[in-house]
A and B are shown apart, each in its own frame.
Chain A
Amino acid sequence: DTGVSQNPRHKITKRGQNVTFRCDPISEHNRLYWYRQTLGQGPEFLTYFQNEAQLEKSRLLSDRFSAERPKGSFSTLEIQRTEQGDSAMYLCASSLVGLALNTGELFFGEGSRLTVL
C-alpha cells in the first residue's frame, strides 16, 4: 500500500494523559499536513511541513500540541495533558510541491480518532 498511513486508527484515553499519533506519508511527497476534524465539521488546518521544516502552526494548535517530522519522512503529533475538547479525528495528508506544475492536491490518510474520557 503506497498511500498515507496513520496509526493508531483509534485511541481512547483519560483526561490528562499524553497521546501520540504517527503519520507515514506517500514516500516521494515533500509536504505533510495535519488537520483536525470534529463531528459535523470540515477538516481544520493545524500545521504543515516541507521536508523536516515546520512551516506554519495554526492558532488552533495550543502549546499542548507538538508536531515533528525529524527526517522529512514520517511525522508525529503529540498532545500533552489531553482535554475532552481534544476529542476529534486527526487527519494527516501529504503532497508533492516543486518546480513543476503544482496541483496542491492533498492525499489523506484514514485518520486517527481520539476520544478523551
Chain B
Amino acid sequence: AQSVTQPDIHITVSEGASLELRCNYSYGATPYLFWYVQSPGQGLQLLLKYFSGDTLVQGIKGFEAEFKRSQSSFNLRKPSVHWSDAAEYFCAVGARSNDYKLSFGAGTTVTVRA
C-alpha cells in the first residue's frame, strides 16, 4: 500500500526566509508525487507534480521540489517566503498501478511571521 509521511506538523518561518517541507513516501513502484496547498476553508490547489524525468520540478508561486528515490523523499522548497504562503501543505502519492488514486500525508501548517 502507498503511504505518505510529513514529519513536520507545524513550521513557523519569517517572511523572506527560506522554507523546506519534508515528505517521505512508501511505495514499491515508481510513484507519481504531488504537493498541494490549502488555505483555510478552501479546497486544494496543485503546486507541482513529478512523474518522471528531471528530479527537480518547478511549480507555481515560486515553489520547487526534488525527488530523491534513494531517500524516498519529495521535499518542497521556496527560497523566500511571502506572508501569503501561510497555509497548509499536503504531499500526495499516486501510481498508475493503483489506478491513480492519491494518498495524502497529514499536512504541514506553515505560519509566516513578519
Contact = CB atoms under 8 A, between A and B. Distances in A.
A54 to B, nearest CB: 13
Interface string A15-54: 0000000000000000101010000111111001000000
Given A45-B101, A103-B51, 8 more contacts: A40-B106, A42-B105, A43-B90, A103-B32, A104-B94, A105-B46, A108-B44, A110-B41
Contacts, number: 64
Interface in B24-77: 32, 34, 36, 41-46, 49, 51
Interface residues of A, number: 29
Interface of B: 4, 6, 32, 34, 36, 41-46, 49, 51, 90, 92, 94-96, 99-107
A104 B46 contact: no
Contact of B107 (A41, A55, A106, A107): A41
Nearest to A35: B104
Interface of A: 4, 6, 31, 33, 35, 40-45, 48, 55-56, 91, 93, 95, 97, 102-111, 113
Contacts of B36: 108
Given A43-B90, A45-B101, A55-B99, A108 B106 contact: no
A105 B36 CA distance: 10
B96 to A, nearest CB: 7
A104 B44 contact: no
B94 to A, nearest CB: 5
B42 A104 contact: no
Contacts of A48: 101
A42 B90 contact: yes
B73 to A, nearest CB: 17
A99 to B, nearest CB: 12
Nearest to A31: B100
A95 B100 contact: yes
Contacts of A111: 42-43
Contacts of A110: 41-43
Q: Nearest 3 pairs between A and B by C-beta?
A: A42-B104, A104-B100, A108-B43
Nearest to B102: A106
B99 A91 contact: no
B91 to A, nearest CB: 8
